[in-house]
Structure 1
Amino acid sequence: MHPHLLNSELSQLLAPIHAFLQCETPDEWIAEARKPERLSVLLVDHANCEMKAAMSAHSLVRRYCLPKEKRKLLPNLDFYKTLDALPEKGEVLGKQTLLDENRRVFDELAKNGLLVKMVRLIQEELHHFEQVLEIMATRDIEYSILSASGYARGLLQHVRTHEPAAIVDRLIIGAYIEARSCERFARLAPHLDEELSRFYVSLLRSEARHYQDYLTLAADYSGQNIDERVAFFGAREAELIQAPDEELRFHSGVPVGS
């Protein structure tokens, strides 16, 4: 694709994301993240982020798409890796995975709008997780234990404890995490080597709609206007992104000493 057309495409993808986020990634974070010696930490944390995104979506499916006594019937994350493209009517689990007496569970799931969006998201996040691991392997970067940043925790502490407010808040938080990821893919791509730059641009194309899916679901579950709550979490997210941070992570704040 011609560079002009590429830039035009990315600008169109990013425009609603920039309008949604209440601040841009600080230049100090970019300056630190682009350093070659930071690449290992950044890729390991990126891999962790992709897996956490899949796990969070899976948790929402378990908690909100099935009655408590039926949750054990939902497959684990490995199931989604080999799941074929989703049929239009949301036949996500494949009837062969359920016994006849549990067919009603499948029918409940097939009607759930949250399930369809979350399973698509889980598939993509797991695929991206594996792509990051492949890139790490070619660069002899070991996938290791890495402490998480306080970003997600700082957002989740504001989740309300009653329903449907709790799921509305969690979905709004999911929207901000996805939007921030896309914004950072775009900000980092010009400063990375060709392989990683192409990879991050491809992720931006793939994940740009995720935050909108989360927002749509949040509005559906709320049944009322969520603008005030979206703005509340937007302000909290911006505070975390602009706050001093001891560690560099994919969603961390301004590196201390910058």
Structure 2
Amino acid sequence: MSAIINQLLEPITNFLYCPTPQSWIDEAIKGENLPTLLVDHANCELKAAQTAMLLLRRYAVDKESGDALLAWLKPFEDFVYRKVGDGNFKEHVNLSKKLISKSNFEHGDELINKMVMLIKEELHHFQQVWEIMQNRGIEYANLTASRYARGMMKRVRTHEPAKLTDTLICGAFIEARSCERFAKLAPFLDDELETFYISLLRSEARHFQDYLSLAEKIALQPIDDRIELFKQKEAELILSDDSEFRFHSGVLIGN
């Protein structure tokens, strides 16, 4: 792995409590698991965009802007969840209008700027995964979600601003783990996928820091204890047994 990749990965591995177990990597690189890996990866890219959109609609933008965000993601959601459309998303990559920040949310403009950029990147990466799937004859099959994100969100507090702070910290860990797995997988994949996964690491390596910086500003107090709580929970999910292989699954039972 090149020096620049190691440089990108260092803050991510320092942030996470544990590396991905070798047993997960061994499972992920099996040829029969490639369709599941790519479909679930595409799902993760879309879910990341949806999470950022929900944060904007809930906290940062007015109703008209919220409606524009819904319209932006609708073609992708229609295709994945309702099998509507031909899978050509090139004309839907960009947002159709400027978003208006709510006047009562101090960090609205910063949240908008960072999350809109993140959504653009995630939707672009979703499209890239889908194109790779098409070229390899892999259908977009329905997959159940892994327990990973749900397990993380169970620890989110329900009162504000703690809820938003915790949600952003969760986002930081999910983004960091995704990048760590891009790097772990890349050397074991064919040339096309290795190049693609390294490009994703380069593009998404800063995402976890964007989430963290927002969490720190919104919390108005140190968040080290919350980071530690989610760090331990994230490691527990990654190291414990899982019954199904997914992009963020733990150790497969029997492996």
Q: Same fold (TM over 0.5)?
A: yes
Q: Are 1:22 and 2:26 an aligned pair? A: no
CA distance, structure 1, for counterparts of residue 233 and residue 152 of structure 2: 7
2:52 aligns with one of 48, 57, 66: 57
What is the total number of aligned residue pairs between the two structures? 235
Cα contact 2:68–2:95 (8 A) shared by 1: no
CA distance, structure 1, for counterparts of residue 208 and residue 14 of structure 2: 12
For structure 2, the 5+ residue unaligned runs are: 74-91
1:82 paired residue number: 94
1:120 paired residue number: 117
CA distance, structure 2, for counterparts of residue 75 and residue 31 of structure 1: 39
1:149 paired residue number: 146
| C-alpha deviation, 1:107, in angstroms | 7.5
Please list the CA deviations of residues 158-199 of structure 1 after superposition, one character each: whole Å capped at 9, or x if unmatched: 110000000000000000000000000000000000000000
Q: How does 1:206-217 map to 2 (within 5 A)?
A: 206-217=203-214
| Percent identity between the two aligned chains | 54
2:156 aligns with one of 138, 154, 159: 159
Q: How does 1:123-142 map to 2 (within 5 A)?
A: 123-142=120-139
CA distance, structure 1, for counterparts of residue 52 and residue 108 of structure 2: 17
Q: How does 1:215-254 map to 2 (within 5 A)?
A: 215-254=212-251
| C-alpha deviation, 1:76, in angstroms | 1.9
Secondary structure of the equivalent of 2:69?
A: coil
AA paired with 1:182?
Answer: C
CA distance, structure 2, for counterparts of residue 216 and residue 57 of structure 1: 15
CA distance, structure 2, for counterparts of residue 150 and residue 57 of structure 1: 20
Cα contact 1:174–1:214 (8 A) shared by 2: yes
1:168 paired residue number: 165
1:94 paired residue number: 98
Cα contact 2:65–2:98 (8 A) shared by 1: no
Q: Normalising by the residue count of structure 2, what TM-score does the alignment of the two structures yield? A: 0.87
| C-alpha deviation, 1:239, in angstroms | 0.2
| C-alpha deviation, 1:75, in angstroms | 3.1
AA paired with 2:154?
Answer: Q
| C-alpha deviation, 1:243, in angstroms | 0.3
CA distance, structure 1, for counterparts of residue 64 and residue 232 of structure 2: 38
Q: 1:113 to 1:228 in 2, by over 3 A?
A: same
For structure 1, the 5+ residue unaligned runs are: 1-5, 85-92, 96-104
| C-alpha deviation, 1:81, in angstroms | 1.6
CA distance, structure 2, for counterparts of residue 72 and residue 201 of structure 1: 33
AA paired with 2:144?
Answer: S
CA distance, structure 1, for counterparts of residue 47 and residue 109 of structure 2: 22
CA distance, structure 2, for counterparts of residue 75 and residue 177 of structure 1: 22
Higher mean displacement: 35-44 or 74-83:
74-83
Q: Normalising by the residue count of structure 1, what TM-score does the alignment of the two structures yield? A: 0.86
CA distance, structure 2, for counterparts of residue 82 and residue 174 of structure 1: 22
Cα contact 1:55–1:77 (8 A) shared by 2: no
CA distance, structure 1, for counterparts of residue 176 and residue 64 of structure 2: 33
| C-alpha deviation, 1:126, in angstroms | 0.2
CA distance, structure 2, for counterparts of residue 168 and residue 115 of structure 1: 16
CA distance, structure 2, for counterparts of residue 216 and residue 172 of structure 1: 9
Higher mean displacement: 179-188 or 106-115:
106-115
Q: Which has the larger radius of gyration?
A: 1
CA distance, structure 2, for counterparts of residue 132 and residue 73 of structure 1: 27
1:101 paired residue number: none
2:191 paired residue number: 194
AA paired with 2:221?
Answer: Q
